[in-house]
Every structure is written in structure tokens, then in C-alpha cells.
Amino acid sequence: MSRQRKPEAAPVAFPEVLRKFWIRSVAAFGLMFLLVWLEQQHANPGARMTPLPDPIFGDLTEYFSTFRLVHTAAFFDSTSLVYPAVAYPPFGAAMFAVLYAFSRPVVAYMALAGLWMALAWLGVRRALLREGVGRVVALMFPVSILVASFPIEGLLQRANVELFLWIFTAMGMWAYLRGRDDAAAILWGLAAAGKFYPVILLVLFLPRKKMRAFGLGVAAFIAATLASAAYFGPTIRVALQGALHNTFGYQGVRVAEWGRHDLGTNHSFFTLLKVVVVALHGSTAHLALPYYACGAVVFAAVFFGRVRKMPVANQLLAVTLFMVMLPTISYFYTLTHLYAPWLVLVFLAVRAAKAGVEIRGLSTTILLFVPVFAAYTLFTFSKIHLWGGVVQGLFLVWLFVWVVRFPFAEPVVEGVAARTI
């Protein structure tokens, strides 16, 4: 006698706000290519900033010649006209060394990116199915987000090592949400060793008094930095001094710049400040230190005064938003760090729809990510002095204010609070 299979439960309706986000994101991605094609056909080719410019994979191939000088002081010579200076902390430079160890670094980079995104897709699909979302939606929604999100496409087109940081920060958030604080801290410490600015994520441990995890994050940062400096040599001191000189030297040059590329692609809050200062006929060349000091004060006041008391979704998103807004140089590929906390909101919306409750401010917050994840060229119209970096910077500020204003608490289903993910 054969056993009858239990009928599968009907899939839950995909929330309307996520359907709107889905449609608008795909439309924005298609519009990016349409605008470029129309200008090439009927207007002045090159008038609009090309969203995916040549040289392809340029951020990865830039330092091929310089890495012939590894283990020598010449590796850090920023005055060379032949060998471009590696403007990364030691562990960030080590990411290039790992890729350059392969005979085809670009292939190795794309293989890593493909593996990472496949694992991310599988994880999101599985989580959506667990929430009761239909199989077709669970399959296609994460695929379309990966394919039609400009920060991801732009990151891969340039083959920037921000990919490593994205993996570290996203995996750290996954561990953090599951209570694996030590693993999260180590991953965030490694991300900070790569480009410094993700160190702000470690602040999430302080309100919960997780000092062991905080210490592990700091230790991971120091260990990765010293180990990488020892590798590059010729001594740890020479490597540290050279790497820091090149890193902050690059930042200093960019801080003083005022041009199409910076205004169009840099969504930092510093870009908004730069617009005001230049409009008043001032100079931004010496504003970096006071800017960071003021930023630290503002963040400390907002985080410890309000955000630390808010739900975990708010904490993760607020800290990550500040992380990608604060650096003076923050190009579109740093926006990849926002996908992990954005996914927390996605699952929050699914569970709220299942519970039949409305979370105030959530829909607006999710939809604000449409322009944030879109190409900067959609907001760049140089003839009327409208620039993508400035516009997206304003959207990020709007998002930050919204996240600080509205608490995104988990809906309660039958007397039990749902999981975060």
C-alpha cells in the first residue's frame, strides 16, 4: 500500500514592496544600457559617462609590473613613473598577491566571484523557500538581483579587490545574525585590514558588551596587517611605512580633486561637502582630518544615543550605511556591502506580510535602494550640473535618516517573534 504524499502548502504571496523593487531595479538596469545606446546613436558619443568603461579588469591588472618588485623597498616607491604605487594597506596588497600567484589572475578572480555569488544565491533561495515563498520567485528574485545590480556588475567589470572585503563583511553579518560573534569579529577584522573603513563594524559588539569578540576583531586586523607587511618586506617597518604613505597619499590626492569622475562616481558624504565648499570658492585639500573628526563625533552620538537601542536590522544597516558614506573616497563598488543588511529587510518584509502586519517605514527604506543600486550615469547630466555621486550620496543620507528614525522590529507570529533570517 503506497503512502500518500502530504500536499505542499500554498506559497505565500511575495510582498508588494519587493515586487516593486524587483521591477524597478531591472528597469533601471535596462535603462542604463538604453541611455548609452541612444547617445551613441543620436547624440554625442562619450557625452555621458560610460557606466562600464574600458579598460576591462583594469583595477586588477594595474599593478602587474609593480609586483615584480615584491620584497624590496622599491615596491613602495610612490615616485616611480614606471611602477604604479599600490595604494592599499599591506593586507589589501596581499589580496593582489594571492590573485597574481595564479597564471591567469583574471580567471582566478572571476572564479572566486562566481563561487561567491553562487553560494549567496543558494543561501538566499533556500531561506526564501523556508519562509514559504514560491519556487519560481525564490529562484528568480536573487538571480535577477545579482545580474541587474550595477554595483556588482561594475565591481566585476573592473575586477576590484573590494570583492574580498564584500565576502568578509557579508559572511561576518551572516555569522553575527546567528550569534557567532567570534567568527563575525574575525571576518570584520580581516575586512578592515584590507581597506581600513570596515573597522567600524566592530562597534556593533560594544552595546552588547561582547569585549572578547571586539578584541578578536582587533587582533585579526593587527595579525593580518603584520603578517602581510612581513611578506612584502624587506622589513615590517619599511612595508608598513610605505603602504601607509601610499594609501594616505592617494587619499590626499583624491580629496583635493574636483572633476567629472569624482562628482559622478563618488557617493561619499565628503562629495556633498566638497560641492558646498567649492561653491563658496574654498578648498577641500586640508579638510580630511576635521571631516573625519566630525564624522566620528556624529556617528558616536547617533549610534550610542539611539541606534544601539534599536532592532538588529537597524543596527546593521545604519552602521553599514555610515561605513560606505564616511570615507572621502567611496566609489560605487563599495555599495556591495549594503546587500547583506538589505537582505535582512527583505526577509523582514516577507515575514511581516505573512503575519499580516505593517512595519512603519520599511517599504520606503527598501525602495530607496533602487536608486542606490542603480548606475550613477542615470543621475548624471553634466549640462545641468547634476552628478550621480552627489545624487546617490543624498539618497544614502536619506536612507540613514530613515533607518535611524523607524525601528524595524521582527513581527510576532502566534506569540513568538520570528527569526532575523
Identify the H or E element spanning 269.
Answer: helix 269-279
User: What is the structure's pLDDT at 23?
Assistant: 95
What cell numbers appear for 413 in the block?
507570529
Every domain of the chain and the residues it spans: 16-32+54-417
User: What is the structure's pLDDT at 416?
Assistant: 44
Instruction: Kindly compute the dihedral angle of the four CA atoms of residues 4, 8, 10, 11, in this order, to the nearest 10 degrees.
Output: -170
User: What is the structure's pLDDT at 250?
Assistant: 74
CB atoms within 10 A of CB 381: 14
Question: Please, what's the largest Cα pairwise distance for the chain?
Answer: 87
The model carries a pTM of 0.92
Give CA 398 to chain center in angstroms: 17
The whole-angstrom separation of Cα 376 and Cα 387 is 8
What cell numbers appear for 335 in the block?
555599495
The whole-angstrom separation of Cα 409 and Cα 314 is 9
CA atoms within 13 A on the CB side of 126: 6
Going residue by residue through the chain, which has 421 residues, state the pLDDT in tens, using 9 for 90 and above: 445 554 555 677 899 999 999 999 999 999 988 887 777 776 565 555 677 776 889 899 999 999 999 999 889 887 876 788 888 999 999 999 999 999 999 999 999 999 999 999 999 999 999 999 999 999 999 999 999 999 999 999 999 999 999 999 999 999 999 999 999 999 999 999 999 999 999 999 999 999 999 999 999 999 999 999 999 989 999 999 999 988 887 777 777 777 777 788 889 998 888 888 888 877 777 888 898 999 999 999 999 999 999 999 999 999 999 999 999 888 999 999 999 999 999 999 999 999 889 999 999 999 999 999 999 988 888 778 888 889 999 999 999 999 999 999 988 755 444 454 5
Q: Which of 260, 255, 264 is nearest to 284 (CA)?
A: 255
User: What is the structure's pLDDT at 48?
Assistant: 58
DSSP conformation class of 272: H
User: What is the structure's pLDDT at 10?
Assistant: 63
User: What is the structure's pLDDT at 415?
Assistant: 47
Pair 146, 120: CB distance under 8 Å: yes
